[in-house]
Structure 1
Amino acid sequence: MFYRRAGQQGPKESFYMRFPTGSPDTLRDALTLAYGQVGRVSKHRTLFLIGRTRVHIDIVEGLGQFMELEVVLADCESADAGILEARALMEQLGIDPRQLIESAYVDLLAQQGNVDFTLISNYSE
């Protein structure tokens, strides 16, 4: 999965693409050889749907439990529409905006010293 999201406080727009594979370990090894690896996150995710919002409940090894709200926008919608919807749902769920984090799990693990940031370089046989 390719994932891009701004590192900012509060709701933010993200972009992702999923690439199904029958051989995830081989694909990870090939991408690591090509681009290096900055870390690995081990998590268990439970997914709920509330309307068009994906509610992710994550248990992240070394970090704890987290919830992420992901409002799926139509192609013609602005990010502001999703932010309004996410904030309304946060209020219904009793989530205080001060509880939001801006970092990715891999970054949080790195802050705790739990990620090996050694890059694996390319090699040829």
Structure 2
Amino acid sequence: MRNVEIKAKIADLDRICQIAEKLSGGQATIIKQEDNFYKVNEGRLKMRFYGDSSATLVRYSRDDQKGPKFSDYDLLHFSVAESQKAKLLDDMLKKSVGLRGKVAKTRRLYMLGQTRIHVDTVTDLGDFMELEVVLQPEQTVAEGEQIARLLQVKLEVKDEDLIDCAYMDMLEEKQ
């Protein structure tokens, strides 16, 4: 799977939520997430636990750069009924490769066509906006970047507010 992402620090949570709601034509889906990041040699690997006890193992690779960035990723979903398997895998990964750290957040998810608009409140970091343009097989990265940039403008996100790294990186820098 492939996408193009833009991430930015936001100063006015209410304003960006109003714009995202108007653009998407609906209210946000509120999702509680806790991500356990593991120590890996390439890319990133995390187990994402949701408020309902379901989970997703996420492997992704993405360059750290401001503005639109290409990401390729793989997902392994665990339903609520499989939550014990997710916890066991999480424990196994912690024991074998080590825990890099944890990121806890409340995500407001808005859908706009092929784009996920995330408005995140991250514990110990603050408020952020993230766009994920999920690329169709026939779409180029340049097309995804164009969609992301257009939405960035519509959401009134300035280039100087863009960030180039993951929340995990920001938490590590803060320590």
- TM-score per shorter chain, which class? 0.7 to 0.9
- Which amino acid counterpart does residue 133 of structure 2 have in structure 1? V
Which residue number corresponds to residue 117 of structure 2?
Answer: 55
Cα offset, 1:10, TM superposition = 0.9
Q: CA deviation at 1:25?
A: 2.1
- Quick one: which amino acid aligns to residue 103 of structure 1? C
SS of residue in 1 equivalent to 2:66? coil
Q: Is the aligned partner of 1:11 residue 2:68?
A: yes
Please state how far the C-alpha of 1:103 moved relative to its aligned partner.
1.2
1:81-109 deviations in whole A, cap 9, x for unaligned?
01011101111111111110001101100
The code of the aligned residue for 2:89 comes to L
Question: Once the two structures are superposed, what CA deviation does each residue of 1:61-89 show, in whole Å capped at 9, x if it has no partner?
Answer: 10011110011111121111010111011
Cα distance in 2 for partners of 1:106, 1:40 equals 7
Q: TM-score, normalised by structure 1?
A: 0.85
Q: CA deviation at 1:59?
A: 1.1
DSSP-derived class of the 2:100 partner: coil
Give 1:52 deviation, angstroms: 1.2
Give 5+ residue unaligned stretches, structure 1: 114-125
Q: Which runs of 5+ in 2 are unaligned?
A: 1-57
Q: Which amino acid aligns with 2:62?
A: R
- The residue correspondences of 1:4-43 to structure 2 (distance < 5 A) are 4-21=61-78, 22=82, 23=84, 24-43=86-105
Residues 1:107 and 2:169 are matched in the alignment: yes
The structural deviation recorded for 1:32 is 1.2
Give the aligned CA root-mean-square deviation in angstroms: 1.1
User: How big is each residue's C-alpha offset from its partner over 1:30-85, in whole Å with a ceiling of 9 and x where there is no partner?
Assistant: 11112111111111112111121100111111001111001111112111101011
Identity of aligned residues (%): 39
Name the amino acid aligned to 2:106. Answer: H
Show the counterpart of 1:72: 134
